[in-house]
Chains A and B, each alone.
Chain A
């Protein structure tokens, strides 16, 4: 019962954030696409946590941990990637 419900919620969370793909596609600015990815990242972390609980697979929490860490990493790369030559800092130029 409980695992089923948790898995159901995992599906729900995933479904709602997956809709964010539309924003990735549509943009219009790079910032929009990044935000959508960010949302998907967080939602993905939530999905993994729920799955870990549903499948009773505590090791999967580590995956969420790594995803959380790398979400920050990827986001920095996004921001960097939007600057010329990929080396800038939006704050610096602001």
Chain B
């Protein structure tokens, strides 16, 4: 009984708030806030329950037949939990942040309605037990994100929205075609049994893989399908956090993970000769993104290109096919989320409080907003891969995995990427901590009162702490790394 109920409940904790919030009149901000936070908290609680259950070997499954051959299937496995935990945790924080960020701006019912819907879609993606279910929620995500991207309603937002839709819907079409093509040969594909695809025509399989990964690559911002992501920077900061850390980009990367691990299986991917091209594409994206980031002087755009680069670690890890690399990729799913959301929270807060949008405007920010900048610094160092930060853990496992898989060139990619990361993050830290503020008028407010609204400060501090902890306590079983190892152990049958 409970087995089928829990996934539905987890989904409902964001779906219901979405529906309720849509119907709320604009001035009812108290109620809206309460509904938002209650939903987010409930979701986190349910996720914790499931975590305990799955660790103990329980499975949760909900099957909703639509028409013969088309079932909606929610199934909670370890990989699903990895993602759903991340998104549930970050959603809570993002909600707090967003409430503070938007203040008393217009159209909040619409914003938070779609915001919750977005998370519902992400939850659905995480819990999907079959390809077609995944696709359904993947589309829902696309559609519920669009109103958030264009939230401001100015010409720039609308243009970004158009670009976002153009890319993602095109990607979806490719994904759908790939899924249907595959299923027309194999029957409905669920994420449990391997070996279903064995014996199918290799050309067909390659074509399907290409279509699916290509489609997913749009959201995962694989070069050259990435151009929507920097453009979407016009959206409000919480939306950027959502795009980059909680939902959209992650959904793409998660999808690639599912396709490689649970649809084809790493063995088949290698057998078909698909791993290396994917690894090359991912590596190229990593380097290209970093290079572009280096060239940006707008903070948010720099962060955006950094995402393009960082997310591809996940694909890279999976493409290398060894269990060690796969662990590295998977754990980066979480680590990158924690670090990148911190960065965006901070960037948003800096923009709100100091009106700092460009790199040179950060001068002296450390003195004026020490907590925010501290969090920013932790995350940035993590991104660079400074030990013992979370980013270092990911890169370590990736590097080891590359060696194990006999692809030493990947080490060069990792090293180059780290150098580039350092090259575009360190100057920021330098300006913030070591340079005097540009405008001389010194803030007369006391320490900690300058930071602005606590709702803008607390979330990045927490995520930064989490990122730090993920690195420091990586060896524990319930750390992201521990969990990723569990997943890979189950998937590789180790």
Chains A and B directly touch (beta carbon < 8 Å): no
